[in-house]
């Protein structure tokens, strides 16, 4: 069984370059099929979820090839509009193919999405929003069947700023007839990146990054070349690793403007930061300071995807911290593993009280989902002694080469 082996307990020293964004790449790959032509994507991360998505696109009839770190996709001839169940059920982001398939083919079949077990993540908002644009959906035992022969613009107001539902509306509305007004839209940077990508192909979208997005449908899109932004969650993971393990690191290609809430927390933890263009230098000595009250919330609030890395870092903080999770109800699955390392954490409902301990101890650990798995890597790098982290495939879903990155920051790590 494949696992990571980490020898922790030493301060960080070195530098790493942040990969392309997973959460931006996946909706952009969904959007590619809206255009009957060729798309060139630079800085696309070679992670498991991207590779799954590319297999799905191949199943539709797309021609896909890598040229070094550049991805070239020709979607001129789509032959199928059914997402292969063997891939669709493995990843949550397969649901956003509904919007793009309906926009290109007028019909779609998508198996119920899978991925990490961090909560229910219902798709009701996706379905209700797509119906507003003219889609007819039938929920079958194994998946969703949808038809939308003539998508038309509409006013769509989301009950919650869901990232996935926002993306699905944008994908279908981009090629619908007329104007779509999307209210209470998600404001995450990945939404803005999707809109910028579509606009680079000739779409007409305004208001990305705000809660009100206006999409004027166009009849066709054109070829484009686009560079995907760096991954703010990967950057945040390494930033909290510096807080927990101490030492000094330099991170390159950091989306600084997207990480204000994270950098505020790091300042409270006593981490010194120096930014210069798209690089960030971090220093930390001794144990980090506790942070009294942190609540996850949609962007620009503290991201739920960094709650687990923060939890691991606060496990060795000086004092008691409180973390409240407001997005997903099962984000505290990592607590059991951290306790096995000596962490003192109590969970009541959606709130965790973390009483920092002087050190964690290396042991055998099991990753159960993507961000929690990355947090265990952080904990193992901080803890004294040797740790083994099983089910590494979860981590590889979002981190292109965490082994290389940690080695470049002075961590003894290998995959066995």
Catalytic residue numbers? 116
186 touches 298 (CB < 8 A): yes
Following CA atoms 379, 381, 383, 385 in sequence, which dihedral angle do they give, to the nearest 10 degrees?
Answer: 140
Output phi, psi for 378, to 5 deg.
-60, -45
Kindly report each contact of residues 398-404 with a partner whose C-beta sits within 8 Å and lies 24 or more positions away, as own/partner: 398/22, 398/47, 398/49, 398/231, 398/233, 398/234, 398/370, 398/371, 398/374, 399/19, 399/47, 399/234, 399/237, 399/374, 400/19, 400/20, 400/45, 400/46, 400/47, 401/19, 402/374, 402/377, 403/4
> How would you classify the pairing of strands 247-252 and 412-415?
unpaired
């Amino acid at each position: 069984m494949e696992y990571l082996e980490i020898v922790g307990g030493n301060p960080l020293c070195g530098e790493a370059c942040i990969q392309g964004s997973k959460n931006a790449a996946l909706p952009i790959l969904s959007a590619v099929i809206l255009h009957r032509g060729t798309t060139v994507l630079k800085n696309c991360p070679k992670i498991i979820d991207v590779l799954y998505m590319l297999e799905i696109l191949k199943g539709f009839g797309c021609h896909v090839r890598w040229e070094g770190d550049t991805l070239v996709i020709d979607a001129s001839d789509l032959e199928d509009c059914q997402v292969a169940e063997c891939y669709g059920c493995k990843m949550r982001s397969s649901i956003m193919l509904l919007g793009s398939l309906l926009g290109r083919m007028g019909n779609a079949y998508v198996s119920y999405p899978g991925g990490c077990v961090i909560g229910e993540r219902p798709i009701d908002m996706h379905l209700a929003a797509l119906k507003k644009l003219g889609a007819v959906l039938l929920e079958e035992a194994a998946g969703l069947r949808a038809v939308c022969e003539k998508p038309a613009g509409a006013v769509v107001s989301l009950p919650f700023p869901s990232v996935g539902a926002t993306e699905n509306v944008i994908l279908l509305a981009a090629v619908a007839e007329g104007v779509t007004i999307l209210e209470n839209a998600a404001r995450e940077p990945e939404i803005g990146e999707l809109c910028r990508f579509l606009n680079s192909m000739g779409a007409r979208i305004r208001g990305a990054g705000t809660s009100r997005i206006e999409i004027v449908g166009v009849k066709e899109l054109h070829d484009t070349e686009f560079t995907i932004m760096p991954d703010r969650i990967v950057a945040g993971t390494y930033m909290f690793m510096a807080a927990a393990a101490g030492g000094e690191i330099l991170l390159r290609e950091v989306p600084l403007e997207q990480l204000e809430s994270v950098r505020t927390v790091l300042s409270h933890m006593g981490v010194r930061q120096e930014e210069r263009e798209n690089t960030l230098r971090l220093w930390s000595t001794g144990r980090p300071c506790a942070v009294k009250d942190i609540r996850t919330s949609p962007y620009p609030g503290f991201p739920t995807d960094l709650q687990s890395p923060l939890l691991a870092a606060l496990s060795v903080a000086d004092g008691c911290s409180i973390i409240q999770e407001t997005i997903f109800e099962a984000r505290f699955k990592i607590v059991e593993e951290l306790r096995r390392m000596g962490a003192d954490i109590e969970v009541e409902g959606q709130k965790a009280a973390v009483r920092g301990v002087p050190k964690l101890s290396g042991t055998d650990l099991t990753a159960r989902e993507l961000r929690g798995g990355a947090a265990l890597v952080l904990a193992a790098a901080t803890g004294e002694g040797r740790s083994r982290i099983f089910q590494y495939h979860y981590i590889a879903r979002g981190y292109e080469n965490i082994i290389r990155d940690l080695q470049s920051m002075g961590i003894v790590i290998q995959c066995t």
